[in-house]
Amino acid sequence: MKKYFYLLLIALACPLGAGPLPDNMFFRAMNDEMQRTQKQLRVKGSPKPYFTVYKVTAVTSQTFSAQFGAPYASPKEPETWLQAAVYMYAGDAKDNSSGFVNNMYYFEPAQITSVPASYEGLRRMLWQATDIKYVAAGDSYAKKMAYKRQKNITDDLPDFSKAPKASYVRDITPFPKVDGQPYQQLVNELSAMGRKLPYLENFAASLRMRQQDIYFLDSEGDFYQYSRPSCSLNLSSSLRNKDGYKENLTENIPLECFQTPDKAELRAETEKFLARLQDMYRAQKAEPYLGPVLLEPKAAGGFFNQLFVRNANNSKPLLSAQAETDGTAGQFKDKLGMRVISHLLDVYDRPQLREYKGRPLPAFMPLDDEGVEAQELQLVQGGKLLALPTIRSLIAGQKQSNGHARMSGRTLPRAALTHVFFTPRVSVSDAELEQKLLERCRELGLEYGYIFPRFAQLKDGTGEVNFAWRIYTADGRKEPVYGLRLEGVTTRSLRDVLAAGADEEVSVFTDNTTMLSFAVIAPSVLVDEIEILPTQRKPDRAPFVPLP
């Protein structure tokens, strides 16, 4: 915890008032085109540009991979590319084109890939994308006004609220020259460890180093510039378990970027991964179960991501003439002040945190993508929903944005969480938590309970967990189980958290629709009731030919 406070203080100590634009090619090109856009871009009869955003990202990436000790061919030099995103609202502060889409599930991409790395190239790409966005904004504005008249929408909320000018600038350190040989050697060695389990059909290790240098400018003069490095080791394997079910397992281990990895530590992590594969191979199939489940930190991360984070995001529904409701809007938008989660938990979002417990966080954001300082939020206190992430297009009861507009090439700026902390008001040790699980099972007359290392990917409350531990009430014995189909898991389950541990871990996720990354930091939690049925998947035949 100490480290966390220290880092938070550093972040808060950096003032966010606007200063001079950094003098580099990116800002020169963005600023010159922005001036032209705001002053000259007009079509007679269409609203003028009101708010324009330019975001340029320089990405550098290098990967080393191997399977069973054999290296995959990889480029000698890191790959580098530039991409740019443009967004624009047309109209004015009261009424503008924001928040209206032609199609609820497909937003016109705001991203340009393969941008030439020159002032002229950047200007050209921004010019063309701005023009496309201006045409789209004019179209959205007209349709939005017509829709509001048709639906008699007469709220007085402005479409775009004021915010103090803000900026954040950090020097960009170039992606370092990497001697690939030691990294390749490392992944060769780690992937060769998979040879000791003869039933593995694949065992690969992949080490990725990546740096994103981000440059942002909006038409109100807000700007930011910083680097976001991310490095990790990915282990992946596949096998057919003893009953013939094909199973895949992956593990992502964060690394300190551009530092020599601790080989012994990574070997130990790989050993742990192999141990899980061994358990997975010998596991028995799940049987019907209704009762308490202990979610280890990574499983708790998945549980909270799907039931809480998704429902807290997109707090302002989009409007569209094609659909009456916005299916992407979170369910919590109407639940402010209500109990949405167990009273044992407080929930925070901390966008300005760069790392936590030595692990880099994926969504560090000093300013949001509408140029507003990204604020720390207490979302939940004692189970009650206090706040939601918001943007400059206001929702009822809100006076200004709390700086949570996030955009990507796949989405327009929408309210989204960044680093979500689930903090127990009272925590217990791992052993106590396990005891609480067993006690609860005994109360319910159950022969055993479950411990999940990972959670399911839910769809309509249903999903599969491919590995769990069954723990027996009689003697605390644990047995591995596969093929657990979860049924009826809804936001109701958030209120069923009975206890929480002190063993919090960072779980990183990427939204499949927006491709935005975020983190959930959660401890183990005991959930009172989850319904489990055996998987409906069918086993595969044994391989025709034995493994070489």
Partner 1 sequence: MKKYVLLLALAWPVLGIAAEPNCNTGGEVPLQLMEQELTRSFKILKKQNPPIYYLSYTYKEGENAFLSVAYDGVADKSVNPVSSAEVMARVGSVKLDNTHALRGERENWILPVWSAPVPDPSDPKGFLTAWWKGTQQAAEDAQRDFSRVQSNVRSMAVVRDQSDDFVFPPKENYCRTEKLQKIDLTQYEDMLKEASRLARGKKFVLNASFSVSAEQGHRYFADSRGTRLKTPFSFFRMAYQFSGRGKDGLEISRDGIYDVLSPQDFPSREKLLADVKKSLQELEELSNAPEGDPYNAPTILKGRAAAVFVHEVMGHRLEGYRLKNAGDGQTLAGKVGQQVISPLITITADPTQTQFKGEPLRGHYEYDDEGVKARPVTLIENGVLKNFLMQSSPIEGFPVSNGHGRKQTGRRAEARMSVIRATASQTVPYERLEEMLVEEIKRQGKPYGFIVEDLGGGFTLTGTGLPQSFKLEAKRVLRVYPDGRKEVVRGLDVVGTPLVSFNKILAAGDDDTLFNGSCGAESGWVPQSNIAPSLLFENLEMEKTQKSDFKPPVLPAPDAEEEGK
Which span sits near partner 1 by CB under 8 A: 30-38, 85-93, 317-325, 514-522?
A: 30-38
Question: Residue 30 or residue 499: which is nearer to partner 1 going by CB?
Answer: 30
Q: How far is the CB of 192 from partner 1 (least distance, A)?
A: 8
Q: Does residue 510 bind partner 1 (CB under 8 A)?
A: no
DSSP conformation class of 369: T
Gap between the Cα atoms of 515 and 197, Å rounded: 35
Q: How far is the CB of 416 from partner 1 (least distance, A)?
A: 30
Joined tokens for residue 360? 């880099």
Gap between the Cα atoms of 475 and 478, Å rounded: 9
Q: How far is the CB of 46 from partner 1 (least distance, A)?
A: 9
Question: Residue 219 or residue 524: which is nearer to partner 1 going by CB?
Answer: 219
Q: Does residue 409 bind partner 1 (CB under 8 A)?
A: no
Q: Does residue 495 bind partner 1 (CB under 8 A)?
A: no
What does the per-residue mask of binding to partner 1 show for 173-192, with x meaning CB under 8 A? ---------------x--xx
Q: How far is the CB of 69 from partner 1 (least distance, A)?
A: 5
What does the per-residue mask of binding to partner 1 show for 436-475, with x meaning CB under 8 A? ----------------------------------------
Plot region of 482 (φ>0 → left; ψ -120 to 50 → alpha; else → beta): beta
Q: Are 215 and 181 in contact (CB under 8 A)?
A: no
Q: Which of 57, 67, 314, 352 binds partner 1 (CB under 8 A)?
A: 67
Q: Does residue 10 bind partner 1 (CB under 8 A)?
A: no
Look at residues 293, 292, 345, 330 and name the one whose alpha carbon lies nearest to residue 504: 345
Q: Are 419 and 521 in contact (CB under 8 A)?
A: yes
Q: CA distances (Å), 521 to each of 257, 268, 492, 505, in order? A: 21, 23, 20, 6
Centroid of chain to Cα 418: 7
Q: How far is the CB of 49 from partner 1 (least distance, A)?
A: 11
For partner 1, how many residues bind (rule: CB under 8 A)?
A: 53
Sites for partner 1 among residues 41-60 (CB under 8 A): 41-43
Mapped onto helix, strand or coil, the DSSP state of residue 172 is coil
Joined tokens for residue 324? 């009456």
Listed in sequence order, the residues at least 6 apart from 374 whose beta carbon sits closer than 8 Å to its beta carbon are 351, 352, 365, 366, 367, 368, 402, 403, 404, 418
Cα-trace Rg, the chain:
25
Q: CA distances (Å), 264 to each of 73, 168, 269, 536, in order? A: 25, 38, 9, 40
Please state, as a whole number, how many other Cβ atoms lie within 10 Å of the Cβ of residue 263: 13
Question: Residue 124 or residue 143: which is nearer to partner 1 going by CB?
Answer: 124
Q: Does residue 71 bind partner 1 (CB under 8 A)?
A: yes
Which span sits near partner 1 by CB under 8 A: 3-11, 79-87, 163-171, 423-431?
A: 79-87
Residue type, 272: K
Sites for partner 1 among residues 289-318 (CB under 8 A): none
**Tokens 């922005």 map to which residue?**
34
Q: Does residue 325 bind partner 1 (CB under 8 A)?
A: no
Q: Does residue 484 bind partner 1 (CB under 8 A)?
A: no
Look at residues 351, 316, 372 and name the one whose alpha carbon lies nearest to residue 161: 372
Sites for partner 1 among residues 102-131 (CB under 8 A): 114-124, 127-128, 131
Q: How far is the CB of 178 from partner 1 (least distance, A)?
A: 15
Question: Residue 204 or residue 516: which is nearer to partner 1 going by CB?
Answer: 204
Binding site for partner 1 (CB under 8 A): 32-33, 36-37, 40-43, 66-77, 79-82, 114-124, 127-128, 131-132, 134-135, 188, 191-192, 195, 201-202, 541, 543-545, 547-548
